[in-house]
Structure 1
Amino acid sequence: MAALPPRKCLLRAEGRGAETASNTRVAAGMKFAYRFSNLLGTVYRCGNLNFTCDGNSVISPVGNRVTVFDLKNNKSNTLPLATRYNIKCVGLSPDGRLAIIVDEGGDALLVSLVCRSVLHHFHFKGAVHSVSFSPDGRKFVVTKGNIAQVYHAPGRKREFNAFVLDKTYFGPYDETTCIDWTDDSRCFAVGSRDMSTWVFGAERWDNLIYYALGGHKDAIVACFFEASSLDLYTLSQDGALCVWQCDTLPEGLRLKAPTGWKADLLQREEEQEEEEGAESETTIRGKATPAAEEQQGKVKYSRVAKYFFNKEGDFNNLTAAAYHKKVHLLVTGFASGIFHLHELPEFNLIHSLSISDQRVASVAINSSGDWIAFGCSGLGQLLVWEWQSESYVLKQQGHFNSMVSLAYSPDGQYIVTGGDDGKVKVWNSLSGFCFVTFTEHSSGVTGVTFTTTGYVIVTSSMDGTVRAFDLHRYRNFRTFTSPRPTQFSCVAVDSSGEIVSAGAQDSFEVFIWSMQTGRLLDVLSGHEGPISGLCFNPMKSVLASASWDRTVHLWDMADSWRTTETLALTSDALAVTFRPDGAELAVATLNSQITFWDPENAVQTGSIEGRHDLKTGRKELDKITAKHSAKGKAFTTLCYSADGQSILAGGMSKFVCIYHVREQILRKKFEISCNLSLDAMEEFLNRRKMTEFGNLALIDQDAAEEGGVAIPLPSVKKGDMSSRHFKPEIRVTSLRFSPTGRCWAATTTEGLLIYSLDAQMLFDPFELDTSVTPVRIRAALRQRDFTRAILLAFRLNERKLLQETLEAVPWDEIEVISSSLPDLYVEKVLEFLASSFEVSHHLEFYLIWTQKLLMVHGQKLKSRVGTLLPAVQFLQKSIQRHLDDVSKLCDWNRYNLQYALAVSKQRGLKRPSEPLGSEEEAGASEDDDDDSLHLLGGGPGHADAPLA
């Protein structure tokens, strides 16, 4: 019996060891719990725009996702959901809580905009053209083909079937195009391509079942009811507006008497009521017998006016329209990019403007009638126009062609992207908006990078120039060129920001320039194929250049530009990158491998076989499965994580892989898109499309055209832009980790995707055991044992408990507490402080914590600079954002105070009790008055405003 206790202890120790190991594995998995957080670079693709019910946000469909642009707080956010195909239409409930999102295949998602999640899936069994909720929110109409279906809208409570079909309405002979409801939800109108508009009763009205309106010579684009009326406006594609007047008010609609089994049921109820009493009999009979009422005629419409938008005779198709019933404002968009504002019913033109040279695809007006949103699918533009002040509230446009490259600024606040359209765009990673676009390049941009200061962007282009842009003055201040015209495929800047290098695609040379002078310093020759990638060592002046000639050259910038090493590869090199500490080099090659090298000794230290992880999809016209098509694919872009332990890889596939460098295993794989509207998405051949004559996609797609199907040429990735049917191919062109390590970004066919750590949903403890509980943490706080409470809280790692513990420390004891923290916990406290700066209002308190920690532990932290760099950069990003906001506020207050002092001084000089001595003195004081007002930016009209 005496031997049992040691055995128990042994078992307990083994259990604790297993628990620690499992905790370590869970922590490693949670470290890469990246989730899709935002979509930048694309603001509108197709579908209809909607304003939220408060009028402050625009809901825009972007491919198979939905982005909400908050115009009041200047932020954009993409909902964490995706449909299988591109979104065709979005219907918003009147209270703004629910949205129905329908894609091109007829699949619908019921989405809660409050909790940003999918509540229900539904399939409409056909392509849907439009969706519209009734104003009372009880029903919604869906038009597909030539029919309109009325469904009961989902309620607040949980339902097994959220979409219950109420009625199906037939009438139009061709496809339906638009819907509009009356204010009281009694009737709705449906426009069609057969040039007719149909008015249907949402209930079984006796005097209105349906009514067909003609009078147009082209397809109906939009129809609108007048406020509190059955009067109707219809607009057709040829630019005609018809005004229809109804002879009946909405209150004049009468319910139809029930027939059949409903009448029998009602009669039985009446008989039961007769037995109970005569009063109820009279009441029920009065309701059930409409024949006793005065019979009136059926509802009739008459056309009272017809107007034309194209008065000059030019043929300009009307493509979109919106009407605000309260202010009687009609907005129409045309194929030429022009829009008109008219006041109805008089058809008075308020103003007209050209906002684009492309077709206006969608128009929406907010609830107050002040802002108008326009979507142009040709250029991917989204504009919000304030028509009264004639100014833009929002003006955003993505890259016209696909994005090619991206780079994070050193503090992680900005992202720069370059596209095939020759534009360089800079995005704010917090707001999601593009705030500057450089258009100096005349051809596609192939590479972008930031200097270490974060205020200079260097780009390379196929137009033969490398340009440097200044983010202070937003100008191109340097243009680097080569002696002979050449196309640059990549660019890199050294850690000092003084040396700029670019690789040539046609001359196989690497060009070196000086940033200060703009002069060409040297031309490095030695490669025998196009240069595919350049990267500077972050710690030394060594440049690595990868080429299609199956080599990577290492050039010493400090020693007369000579080649120090040549790394021989087994296949063509496609991408090269250094680890953040410069001690390792990764190269992606054409045979789907990633090889790792020691740059000091030119020795290969490992390799990863990535062919099976790429999993490329087959194209629509391929006759092989995805498994065989993956043989020719490879990773084309690489990026090390902020701590250097993992590497991110992407290429000609819908997957992005994270590998562990030392173990050489796949840690996680992300599917960046599930959009079947893109090519190369499906994995297997669809046997239903295969016939004895070949693939149906080849036969049916353009069979009516004289030339038939345009089969793409080999290695043509972008497709023929003049083709009627164009499906872009899904691919990842560039990947970058944020310097903070909290997120990573990828430029893809869909746009700029941001994946970030979802810290809200994770429980990620550190060295947890049974003694660490919230009760013990709060007990330590009550005993004022703050150091122990902080250590226990960080081991449990619950955010609210951490905040409670840190904020319980008195500010004058912070220095003592921070000096007693172990080095291992200092990094965790710094990470928590960095994340708290983004959400907390206790700015000064957390700044004191940060200052004391860095002052006390500064010397010790220098030895762990590699692991601490992401946390410090995250901290710098958060503090810099607050510095920008607070400095603007302080400057504004300082100018206002100076202005108030100047005004009070002027009034002190001009006292009414002390008349001025002479005209010269009066003139001098007036001159001083004007100068001071001019200097402070005010004017005579504003002099009394601050003191009023």
Structure 2
Amino acid sequence: MKFSYKFSNLLGTIYRNGNLVFTPDGNSVISPVGNRITVYDLKNNKSRTLSLESRYNYTNLALSPDGSLLIAVNETGEAQLISMVSCTVIHRHKFQMGVQCICFSPNGAFFAVAVQNVVLIFCAPGEITGEYNPFVLRRKFLGGYDDVTWLDWSSDSRLLAIGCRDSSTKIVAINYTKNFRTYNLSGHTDAIVACFFEANSLHLNTISRNGQLCLWECSLAPSDLEDAERPKFAPPQRKREKKEVSDNESEDDVENVVEKDALKEESSKEAEDVNHIKNEEETQGHPFFYKKITRHYLADEPRKEQRDVQLTAANYNTRTKILVVAFSSGAFYLYELPDVNMIHSLSISDYPISAALFNCTGDWVALASREIGQLLVWEWQSEQYIMKQQGHSSEMTCIAYSSDGQFIATGGEDSKVKLWNTQSSFCFVTFSEHTSGVTGIQFSRNKKFLVSSSLDGTVRAFDINRYRNFRTFTSPNPAQFSCVAVDYSGELVVAGGQDVFDIFLWSVKTGKLLEIISGHEGPVVSIAFSPVATSSTLVSGSWDKTVKIWNCLESNSEHETIDAVSDVTNVTFSPNGEEIAVATLSGNIIIFDIKSAGQVSAIEGRNDLSAGRLETDIITARKNAQANYFSTIEYSADGECILAAGKSANICIYHVREAILLKKFEITQNHSLDGLNDFISRKHLSEFGNMALVEEREELEGGRVAIRLPGVQRGDMSSRRFQQEVRVFSVKFSPTGQAFAAAGTEGLCIYALDKGVVFDPFDLSLEVTPKAVHESLKQQNYTKALVMSLKLNEPNLIALVLERVPYKDIELVCADLAPEFAQRLLQQLARHLQSTPHIEFYLQWSCCLLTKHGNQDGVFQHTGLLALHEVLSRKYEMLNKICDYNKYTLKVLLDRADKLKQENEGKTNATEEDSDEEMLLIRSKDNENGQSHFSDEEESDSGSEEDMV
């Protein structure tokens, strides 16, 4: 088995915090999801999460106009310069404080960063500026008396509008101009939310938090701005002076001190320059002015429905002159400027809208809500959703793969069940019938339905094709169900109780309760059916430190008990159904034989979890690690390895027979979550103890507290704000063996095998080379070429050989292959079918290969067949949608073609009849006149024929 698993994608987390960014073509939207970045392709209906991550959650994003550079800033002020071509971090820059907003200029030469009430202008690296050093400071401006809330550039990239929290707006020039000075706009009574320049103009629109919209008209046109030489009183360039380095100081410390001194000196000189400019303007008069045209109150309509509604987000498209404003009530409105006519209004939820953004064409508007993690893209002209995605509003507790690995079902504490497509990474259906947290979920073997258990006392079966809840299973007495399982045939459903210690068995067809199985003396936390079709064995694990093996076809509740020494947290079957793995509270994983009930091996994995220390812990991380245990385990597709995780950021892969750790994965490096640090910083410790244990309440007594409720492990439903604890709730291997999924605090992380350039040959010898493969193809020795390419195990070379084989020779080549190469060829066919347009050609390969070698035992592994089945199912669904969409169009075209064919046949028949009638008339006339119209050759031929007769 290969272990080159790498992070592939992130599902279940759509939007966390920060602003949204559209790509220059307007077909993709970039969203920050915690400490990662996800790109949603709206045109192809796919999403991908970049493999890079930050140490803290992202709060601000800015994309260059050409779409090649992305600047992402986290909540601690660390900025990353990311190349969108290679999806790697080029440079990191640390700001002293958190960044409020960041924005690129339209020409791509500069980008502005707002840090508190200071705006820094940097030169963007690239060919436009000729500067390839990142974060080169060009100028610095003082915004207002409070933090900066918005930045917007003019269309010619020469002016910058700065909106502040002190309800003022400041307009500054990047270059020194003769007839332009810094200008302050005041007229709002609340904090500025957004301000926008008009296209090819200096006119400005400003919006405040209380819903006031002011339209400003400038007396100057962009062409009237004239650049001037740097005046004598301009701040000089920064000069670094070397100081003597003492024994206790390093060179970096001295450079930092010099930079701070230079910045102080520069700021003092800039203040003098500003005073000089003000005095000069007072004597000579300001060269330009802004005039307020009108003021509108946009919050009147939302406030009629709900009081204390505030404007939370706004955006303006200069091309279409459409303004979108979003409110804390979950409603957004579209207005047409400058007349401020309302075009559209819609309410998407009851929670505040955190971000709103138009794409470049102005047809789509993206809206995001931080409270519920929702992101939608709305086409306002047709009033349709281009994309509407929402993750679980609370923690994700359980996951399950479908039998072909195409779908993933997730259940959460928010009582919802969601289905995700592993290829598009989108959620396509949400079931909300449960009224409490979902504790277990599993697909049926035929992929027609799935079942889920919940703390609301019900087990529900959902139809995947019709998207409905068609069965609800309940117990005679109310009980909370903690786990659920479906047998191989899909006819029996079993669930374990959390408060009644019993196991309940139902029939899927009738929905009736067949049996109540008793025997456990503690909560039943995990149950599993045997994956073998001929067996009905059921295994259950409980907190009573036992594992029981049941036979569901017998009604006398006979069972065999295995002592697990410690409380059982999870049980799972091996793929062949001969062994079970049991995770216990002692941190061990014990392997038992299902027939003899004897222990096969044991894995001690407590030290591999390495849990950190919480901020409110009063014990060390080393002492805390002694209580770690695995809460979820899963066998690999071949049964050789076990995937295990628990209350930690680590996921471990163990070898079953050798009982050794093969590889360890860390799902996140996000220090915004709690439990990643091994030590607590001494600045948080005082003589009275840990300062994190002090309750920090708001102004009103009884407000939100930064400390979690005591004893709450997960799903704190109170109004407290605290750091979430990093944890992995469930892990599952894909049935194809090509990936595994882990549901944690960050979301649903998908790890797939690295498909990069890896040289992994099979049965290689000296004469097997790519040159020899090409020579065999020239000699039309296709079997030899295919075998050598499979030995080299290079996908591109194998695809070349497969497509060079003639269509008629495919069956003969498959018959000549040895069994050890048939399995490898099947895996390659499944891989190439994902992206090739030659579907029928590769289907012929698959059919011939399965026909020739499918009757032999042990030739094809379960993973290879599942991978091929997954690809074929996906291709069938894709082509089925296309055919259904064009079905009536094709029918009309075929009917039209039949009509045209009939009309053409009728015309040809009519012309033939007319020509025959004409010939008869001509011959009759010739006979009457005694003349012949035949040529001499025809006469000679006819004469010869008469002679022959």
Measured against the shorter chain, the TM-score band is 0.7 to 0.9
* Mapping of residues 408-447 of structure 1, within 5 Å: 408-447=401-440
Task: Check conservation: 1:177, 1:221, Cα contact below 8 A.
Answer: yes
**Aligned partner (choices 738, 745, 755) of residue 742 of structure 1:** 738
Q: Tell me which structure has the larger Cα radius of gyration.
A: 2
Pairing 1:96-111 to 2, within 5 Å after superposition: 96-111=67-82
Partner of 1:917: none
Question: Aligned residue for 1:278?
Answer: none
**Equivalent position of 1:878 in the other structure:** 871
Partner of 2:20: 49
Q: Does the 8 A contact of 2:143 with 2:162 survive in 1?
A: no
Q: In the TM superposition, what is the alpha-carbon distance from 1:704 to its structure 2 partner?
A: 6.2
User: What's 1:299 paired with?
Assistant: 288
CA distance in 1, matches of 2:221, 2:379: 34
Amino acid of the structure 2 residue aligned with 1:167: R
Matched residue, 1:887: 880
* 1:369 equivalenced with 2:362 (yes/no): yes
Match of 1:34 in 2: 5
How do residues 497-516 of structure 1 correspond to structure 2 at under 5 angstroms?
497-516=490-509
1:588 counterpart residue number: 583
What does 1:550-589 align with in structure 2 at a 5 Å threshold? 550-560=545-555, 562-589=557-584
How far apart are residue 897 of structure 1 and its match?
3.9
Summarize deviations over 1:320-362 as a string: whole Å, max 9, x none: 0000001111000000001011111111111211111110000
Q: For residues 152-231 of structure 1, what are the structure 2 equivalents within 5 Å?
A: 152-155=123-126, 161-231=133-203
Q: Residues 442 and 486 of structure 2 are in contact (CA less than 8 Å); yes or no, is this contact kept in structure 1?
A: yes
* 1:399 match: 392
Corresponding residue number in structure 2 for 1:631: 626
1:918 match? none
Q: Counterpart in 2 of 1:352?
A: 345
Q: How high is the TM-score relative to the length of structure 1?
A: 0.87
Residues 429 and 497 (structure 1), Cα distance of their counterparts in 2 relative to 1, 3 Å cut: same
Q: 1:288 aligns to what?
A: none
With 757-766 and 661-670 compared, the bigger mean Cα shift is at: 757-766
1:860-879 aligned within 5 A: 860=856, 862-863=857-858, 868-879=861-872
Letter in 2 for 1:184: D
Are residues 600 and 908 of structure 1, via their aligned partners in 2, closer, same or farther at CA, if it must alter by over 3 Å? closer
Equivalents in 1 of 2:27, 2:413: separation in Å? 33
Q: Which residue identity is paired with 1:512?
A: L
Q: Is the 8 A contact 2:56 2:670 kept in 1?
A: yes
Cα displacement (A) at 1:760: 2.1
Give aligned pairs, total: 853
What does residue range 469-868 of structure 1 map to in structure 2 within 5 Å? 469-539=462-532, 540-560=535-555, 562-699=557-694, 701-702=696-697, 706=701, 711-718=707-714, 720-723=716-719, 725-860=721-856, 862-863=857-858, 868=861
CA contact 2:823–2:859 (8 Å) conserved in 1 = no
Give a deviation string over 1:169-191, Cα, whole Å, max 9, x none: 11311111111000000011111
Structure 2 runs not aligned, ≥5 long: 238-279, 907-949
Amino acid corresponding to residue 841 of structure 2 in structure 1: F
What root-mean-square deviation, in Å, do the aligned CA atoms of Structure 1 and Structure 2 show? 2.4
What aligned pairs does 1:200-279 form with structure 2 within 5 A after superposition? Answer: 200-260=172-232
C-alpha displacement of 1:506: 0.3
Indicate whether 1:134 and 2:105 are aligned: yes
Aligned partners of 1:264, 1:689: CA distance in 2, in Å? 41
Distance 1:479 1:892 in 2: 35
How many Å apart are 1:886 and its aligned residue? Answer: 2.4
Q: Which residue of 1 aligns with 2:264?
A: none
Task: Return the offset for 1:572.
Answer: 0.3
* Alpha-carbon offset, residue 297 of structure 1: 4.4
Q: CA deviation at 1:811?
A: 1.7
Deviation at 1:817, TM superposition (A): 1.5
Distance 1:823 1:656 in 2: 36
1:75 to 26, 43, 46: 46
Alpha-carbon distance in 2 for matches of 1:156, 1:474: 53
Distance 1:417 1:246, change over 3 A: same
**CA distance in 2: counterparts of 1:761 and 1:465, whole angstroms:** 49
Q: Which residue of 54, 57, 65 corresponds with 1:86? A: 57
Please state if 1:308 is matched with 2:304: no
Deviation at residue 80 of structure 1 after TM alignment = 1.1
SS at match of 2:643: strand
CA contact 1:719–1:726 (8 Å) conserved in 2 = no
Contact 2:160 2:173 in 1 (8 A): yes
> Which residue type is aligned with residue 186 of structure 1?
R
For residues 809 and 901 of structure 1, the distance between their equivalents in structure 2, rounded to whole angstroms, comes to 35
Check the 8 A contact 2:490/2:508 in 1, yes or no: yes
Structure 2 SS opposite 1:877: helix
Mean CA deviation greater in 805-814 or 231-240? 805-814
* Corresponding letter in the other structure for 2:728: V
Q: Is the 8 A contact 1:425 1:437 kept in 2?
A: yes
Query: What TM-score do you get using the length of structure 2 for normalisation?
Result: 0.87
> 1:761 aligns to what SS in structure 2?
coil
Contact 1:624–1:685 (Cα < 8 Å) also in 2? no
Partner of 1:60: 31
- The answer to whether the Cα contact below 8 Å between 1:719 and 1:727 also exists between their aligned partners in 2 is no
Question: How far apart in 1 are the matches of 2:873 and 2:229?
Answer: 71
Q: Structure 1's 594 and 561: CA in aligned 2 closer, same or farther, altered over 3 A?
A: farther
Deviation for aligned residue 1:425: 0.6
Q: Using a 3 Å threshold, how does the CA distance of structure 1 residues 693 and 445 change in structure 2: closer, same or farther?
A: same
Cα 1:556/1:721, change in 2 over 3 Å: closer
Displacement after TM superposition at 1:896 (Å): 3.1
- 1-side partners of 2:791 and 2:710: how far apart? 57
Counterpart-to-counterpart distance in 1, 2:196 and 2:369: 22
Separation in 2, partners of 1:159, 1:573: 61
Deviation digits for residues 844-902 of structure 1 (CA, Å, limit 9, x no counterpart): 11111111111111121x3356xx00110000111111122223444555533433455
CA contact (8 A) 1:524 1:561 kept: no
Q: Distance in 2 between matches of 1:557 and 1:213?
A: 78
Identity %: 49
Q: How far did residue 766 of structure 1 move? A: 1.8
Residue 829 of structure 1, CA deviation: 0.4
State the distance in 2 between where 1:641 and 1:155 align: 47
**Structure 1 residues 789 and 615 mapped into 2: Cα distance closer, same or farther (>3 Å)?**
same
Residue of structure 2 in register with 1:284 after alignment = none
Question: Does structure 1 conserve the Cα–Cα contact (< 8 Å) formed by 2:124 and 2:131?
Answer: no
Write the distance in 2 (CA, Å) between the matches of 1:309 and 1:767.
73
- The CA distance in 1 between the partners of 2:417 and 2:721, in whole Å, is 28
